[in-house]
Amino acid sequence: MMLILMTQNLISEPAREIPVVGEFDLCVLGGSCTGVFAAIRAARLGLSVAIVEKMGCFGGVATLSLVNVWHTPLDEVFEKRIFAGLTQEVIDRLKRRNSVKEDLANASVAWGFNSAEMQIELDELITENNITPWLHTSFVAPIVQDGQLTAIAIENKNGREAIKARFFIDATGDGDLCQRLGLDTYLAARRQPSTTCATFSEWDSLGNANWGALIREHADEYDLPDGFAWGGNIPGSDVFMLAGTRVFENCSTAEGFTKAEIEGRRQVRAIQDILRKYAPESKLALQALPARIGIRETRHVRCLHQLTGDEVLHGKRFDDAIANGSYRVDIHHDDKPGITFRYLDGREVYTRPGLPHENGRWREATAQSPTFYQIPYRSLVPQGPFGNVLAAGRFIDADTVAHGAIRVMVNMNQTGEAAGVAAYLALKNECPAREVSPAKLRTTLADGGSIIL
């Protein structure tokens, strides 16, 4: 039996020895496409790689939370290709399974995919690339020896164990490793809301009913926050995926995350009840809920550079650029319904469910406008003493406006690929992450299939 020392509000756990279950060049924490792509790029360069994911499948929001949309690989005017890499490779694989609907000149949905097929495709990629996976395994604590991160503690069905590695990539979305290392993390004053998606059968039975307008008009009756709703059929099926709920809890705390899950599901039911009541001829049925609420934003980690909204909206070029994006800035309002889109050419569009768009400008028109933005490597390198840690995914250092654009998966996928390649270069050159040569990083990324501009 374990001996426990207690005071009124604190329990002291006795020190204990935990088994080391593996030793690797690189350990990636978090198994969304961001983490998986980091692991694959590093493995293809010859590193031994482990990946730790707390849920039962890879893919993060793209699979666990049913968000099945990736944005265009073309620039804002749909002329120039701005990224490829593993995003394109996965799309090509999914196409072979008839699991993708493609419309590259569409700013909202370039690729709609089947999230279940994506899960299996990611399993295959992990296996093909000889990456050692741990599913249903949570990272719980960093193990620091002589000021260096040397291992992580994990928990799973076996209990508590440790994985040793020479380098670590935090791709947990919430920056769990960075936060537990005591690095400087911050919460934006206005965070993007989380959303519980849901799938429905018989959606077509709504016929011509304007479901967006119905949800908006009857929101008060069902205590739904003013919102934004979108959805579409899952490619290769007749099931409809709806993203229509909005939850403003802080999902990087246990209490907030718990409340958010319950509130998100309540809102799904409220939407279903509105549609049943006000489109009574419909026969739609709730088909599936996500394994986890979809989270757009929690904490960020302070890095060598904070990417700003100005830099994104003015398409600033960086010498250490590792990702290119053209997804517009989207501002999810918490003080009124709907969202506002800002484009690099100065257009601004305010949109609400079931109502016509309102067009305006956030800046005057100019003869020439940038058509894509970039993410610099420095926004992935956390400040602080740990030279063998990189951040990848939605918690990289970006202000509220920049995050509103860069957060989408096609961009986050590129941060994962860059982190994997940077880990390889840091280990090869025996240097800390902050000293990885940007030029070498960019050429190595390009050699592995990335588009570097």
Ligand X SMILES: Cc1cc2nc3c(=O)[nH]c(=O)nc-3n(C[C@H](O)[C@H](O)[C@H](O)COP(=O)(O)OP(=O)(O)OC[C@H]3O[C@@H](n4cnc5c(N)ncnc54)[C@H](O)[C@@H]3O)c2cc1C
Q: Which residues bind ligand X (CB under 6 A)?
A: 29-32, 34, 52-55, 60-61, 65, 67, 69-71, 138-139, 171-174, 176, 194-195, 197, 243, 294-296, 393-394, 407-410, 412
CB closer to ligand X out of 299 and 442: 299
Cα pseudo-dihedral 376, 377, 378, 384, rounded to 10: 150
* CB of 249 vs ligand X, minimal distance in Å: 13
Q: Strand, coil or helix: what is 201?
A: strand
* CB of 346 vs ligand X, minimal distance in Å: 23
The length of the chain, given as a count of residues: 453
CB closer to ligand X out of 105 and 208: 105
The DSSP letter of residue 435 is: G
CB closer to ligand X out of 45 and 64: 64
Q: Strand, coil or helix: what is 399?
A: coil
What the block records as the tokens of 379 is: 């926004």
* CB of 294 vs ligand X, minimal distance in Å: 3
Cα pseudo-dihedral 354, 355, 356, 357, rounded to 10: -100
CB closer to ligand X out of 287 and 437: 287
* CB of 10 vs ligand X, minimal distance in Å: 23
* CB of 425 vs ligand X, minimal distance in Å: 22
* CB of 20 vs ligand X, minimal distance in Å: 18
* CB of 91 vs ligand X, minimal distance in Å: 12
Q: How far apart are the first and last CA of the chain?
A: 60
**How many CB atoms neighbour CB 444 within 10 A?**
21
CB closer to ligand X out of 66 and 284: 66
Q: What are phi and psi of 51, to 5 degrees?
A: -135, 135
The residue among 137, 142, 92 whose CA lies nearest residue 117 is 92
* CB of 63 vs ligand X, minimal distance in Å: 8
Cα pseudo-dihedral 24, 27, 31, 37, rounded to 10: -80
CB closer to ligand X out of 113 and 439: 113
Residue 240: enclosing H or E segment and its boundaries? strand 240-243
Strands (E), 128-252: 132-134, 138-145, 148-156, 159-170, 185-187, 197-201, 230-233, 240-243
Cα separations in angstroms, 225 against 210, 268, 404:
19, 12, 20
CB closer to ligand X out of 6 and 229: 229
* CB of 196 vs ligand X, minimal distance in Å: 8
Sign of CA dihedral 138, 144, 149, 151: negative
Name residue, tokens 């600033």: 316
CB closer to ligand X out of 41 and 296: 296
CB closer to ligand X out of 171 and 433: 171
Contact 162, 16 (CB under 8 A): no
